[in-house]
Amino acid sequence: MAKRDMLPANATPLERSTALAAAGIERVEIPLRALWDPYNCPEPFLVHLASAWSVDRWVESWPVDVKRRVIAESFNLHQRKGTRAAIRKAVEPLGFVVEFIEWYRMAPRGVPGTFRLSVGVLDTGITEDLYYELERLIDDAKPLSRHLIGLSITMQTEAQVNYAVAAYDGDTMTVYPYIPEELVATATAAPAIGQHIIDTVTVYP
């Protein structure tokens, strides 16, 4: 038996048709958990999820996986905003590696309160628009008491290196005849005595 609506008896045909059409919404599954999960939310709704999670910077041209990482890191970014960790959280979802050079580590020593950044772009490369977007992300996340005076981009390439090790060795050996350290000879001595006598006789006339 069909469910009865709660409309009064004097409801108009439009109201009854609207109630009948809206009743089907009960059968529509709404995946609320997936909608609030940055890694499972359907792509068309990511921009709305980013707004709900207070993402400071959003660029529609970003790849989908970058958008999801930016949303996922938004809470941690706001927790650490104004620290070096916040800059890392803002930049690393784009696939970059950040190295800080504080004023006291510069050579020569820099102006107190300043810092430089060296950003490794790995194999992804960087465009002019992304470079300026990177500056804006850093400016939003950095401490207000710190001033960025240099941003250098370094290209890093990772590859598998195969190597092998070979060893060639040998021994030179000289073999001499065996010579004992001490020669010992044994023999049996047989003693003997010999005598030879000659007589000379002279005969005269």
Note the pLDDT tens digit of each residue in 174-202.
888 877 777 777 878 788 888 778 878 88
Q: Among candidates 36, 74, 34, 72, which has minimal Cα distance to 56?
A: 74
Sequence ranges of the domains in the chain:
30-154
Report the side by side order of strands in the sheet with 147-154: 97-102, 114-120, 147-154
What is the reported pTM? 0.51
- The torsion region of residue 20 among left (phi > 0), alpha (psi -120 to 50) and beta comes to alpha
Instruction: Report pLDDT for 1.
Output: 42
In sequence order, what are the residues at sequence separation of 6 or more whose Cβ sits closer than 8 angstroms to the Cβ of residue 98? Answer: 87, 88, 91, 92, 117, 118, 119, 120
- Residue 124: CB atoms within 10 Å: 14
pLDDT tens per residue, range 22-79? 877 777 777 888 889 999 999 999 999 999 998 988 888 888 998 999 999 888 888 8
Summarize pLDDT for 111-159 with one digit per residue, the tens. 998 989 888 887 667 788 888 888 888 888 888 888 888 888 887 677 7
